[in-house]
Amino acid sequence: MTGLEKRSYWRSVYRRYGDAEQAGRKFLVADAGGRVVGFVIGEVRDWEFGSQPCGWVFAIDVRPDIRRSGIGTRLLEAICASFRRAGVRKLRTMLARDNTLILSFFRSQGMMAGLFIPLEMDLET
């Protein structure tokens, strides 16, 4: 969740997630009278780190002019409901530490630090 525009990336995301609900992939949009005002993308993953199947949220976005009116919450509720129907009992996401907005949003939904700590390093060329 970076906030950068990446057209080709999104096109490939759409190809993978937009088409029906296959292999646990979810792409939901918030529709306000025919206008798309937000979306959420996620997936059920059951292969990671030997953990139970869990629902991942990769991206969520609401149009800036109508934020803070509960649409983000409803989108997340909708994807959670669909994860639940798929038998999933855990929701996960990964966020940039300095993106206070999106961190605050997920915190407000009751999400807390999980059992995993992401680590990374630069690979020298």
Ligand X SMILES: CC(C)(COP(=O)(O)OP(=O)(O)OC[C@H]1O[C@@H](n2cnc3c(N)ncnc32)[C@H](O)[C@@H]1OP(=O)(O)O)[C@@H](O)C(=O)NCCC(=O)NCCS
Residue from the set 60, 79, 88, 91 that interacts with ligand X by CB under 6 A: 60
Which listed option, another protein, ligand X, none, makes contact with residue 103 (CB within 5 to 8 Å by class)? another protein
Residue from the set 24, 42, 55, 72 that interacts with ligand X by CB under 6 A: 72
Residues in a beta bridge with 93: 57
User: In the window 79-118, what residues touch ligand X (CB under 6 A)?
Assistant: 101-102, 104-105, 108
Q: Cβ-count burial of 47 within 10 angstroms (0-12 exposed, 13-18 middle, 19+ buried)?
A: exposed
98 lies in the site for another protein, by CB under 8 A = yes
43 vs 51: CA distance, rounded Å: 15
**Using an 8 Å Cβ cutoff, are 79 and 40 in contact?**
yes
Residues in a beta bridge with 91: 55
Helix (H, G, I), strand (E, B) or coil at 8: helix
Which listed option, another protein, ligand X, none, makes contact with residue 110 (CB within 5 to 8 Å by class)? another protein
Residue from the set 7, 20, 97, 122 that interacts with another protein by CB under 8 A: 97
17 vs 25: CA distance, rounded Å: 6
Which residues here bind another protein, judged by CB under 8 A? Answer: 97-98, 100, 103-104, 106-108, 110, 113
